[in-house]
Amino acid sequence: MKSHSDKDVEAEGLMLPQETKPIRILLVDDQRSIREGYRMLLEVQPDIKVVAETGRSDEALELASREAVDIILLDLDLGAQSPESGLDIITKLRAANTEALILILTGASDLETHQEAARRGAMGLVNKDQSFQFIVKAIRKVHAGEAWFDRALFGAILTERGDAARKAENPEVIKIASLTERELEIIKLVGHGLKNKEIGQQLNPHIGETTVRNHLNTIFNKLEIKGGRFELLIYAYRHGLASPPILENN
């Protein structure tokens, strides 16, 4: 995934890449004049063909399911005459045509809305006030499989995905961090295959079996383990809290 600015396209301009098959566009914008303008500008590109256009969400879904389309150029705000907004139909468009990629064309500068469009599956986003050369390059890049977002949105997406990854890991990290040194020691001994009495004897100072059982119950609660000792063994091996005993060959 890369971020882009108008400066990135100055050298390329409207140069035709080595394409043999035109990029088929479904143009979705509620303003007829906008659609006509983009159709006229896009169709002078030898590698781009507008195969259909509409200003309504319901018609967009019908066209997406019926037409062979490579890129859906979608305005987020489809106006009051449309049953749903462009944002609302991103997921539906992807389901209606699994081959098509969605490139958002918008006049809005709301970063949260842009992030939501990316979450729902848009492959790129360009602002209507950007140059036509920029939009043409975005179409070609998205068609080639490259995500296309401006630097601010690109940074926000990276931050959000990084936070999501950390949150996915945090529950287990937090649980393990809640264990005391004594509890970690007991888990390690359980991993070695010792019974409660043997565990108590290995600890310094020694403790009785009942105390070991109490510690184990606390461990089960902290780690949210429901399957008893066996589940604790699997958990301990998986998270590096204990090593499986080495079996010697006779």
Exposure string over 83-119, b if 16+ CB within 10 A, otherwise e: eebbbebbebbbebbeebbbbbbbeeeeeebbbebbe
Q: Say whether 169-238 and 2-156 share the same fold.
A: no
CA dihedral 60, 63, 68, 71 (to 10 degrees): -10
Give the Cα separation of 247 and 244 in Å (integer).
9
Confidence at residue 15, expressed as pLDDT on a 0 to 100 scale? 52
| Predicted model pTM | 0.57
Confidence at residue 88, expressed as pLDDT on a 0 to 100 scale? 87
CA nearest to 87, candidates 99, 102, 66:
102
CA nearest to 232, candidates 215, 210, 248:
215
In the sheet with 48-54, reading across from the earlier edge strand, the strands are 2-4, 148-150, 124-127, 101-106, 71-75, 23-28, 48-54
Give the Cα separation of 150 and 156 in Å (integer).
10
Q: Tell me the three state secondary structure of residue 127.
A: strand
Helix (H) or strand (E) segment spanning residue 52: strand 48-54
For 96-128, write each residue's pLDDT tens digit.
Answer: 998 899 999 888 777 777 878 888 888 888 888
Strand-pairing partners, residue 26, are 52, 72
Give the Cα separation of 141 and 48 in Å (integer).
13
Superfamily of domain 2-156: Response regulator (3.40.50.2300)
Q: Where are the domains of the chain?
A: 2-156, 169-238
Q: 169-238 maps to which CATH number?
A: 1.10.10.10
Q: Is the pLDDT of residue 66 over 60?
A: yes
Dump the DSSP string for 204-228.
SS---HHHHHHHHHHHHHHHT--SH
Beta-carbon-side half-sphere exposure of residue 24 (alpha carbons within 13 Å): 12
Q: Is the pLDDT of residue 2 over 50?
A: no
CA nearest to 72, candidates 32, 28, 34, 37:
28
Confidence at residue 150, expressed as pLDDT on a 0 to 100 scale? 65
Angle between helix 209-223 and 228-238 (nearest 10): 60
Q: Which residue has the higher pLDDT, 220 or 83?
A: 220
Angle between helix 151-177 and 209-223 (nearest 10): 160
Instruction: Note the Cα 236 to chain centre separation in Å.
Output: 30
CA nearest to 121, candidates 152, 88, 159, 156:
88
Q: Which residue has the higher pLDDT, 6 or 238?
A: 238
Share of the chain above pLDDT 70, in %: 81
144 neighbors 99 (Cβ within 8 angstroms): no
For 138-190, write each residue's pLDDT tens digit.
Answer: 999 888 887 787 665 555 555 655 555 555 556 777 888 899 999 999 999 98
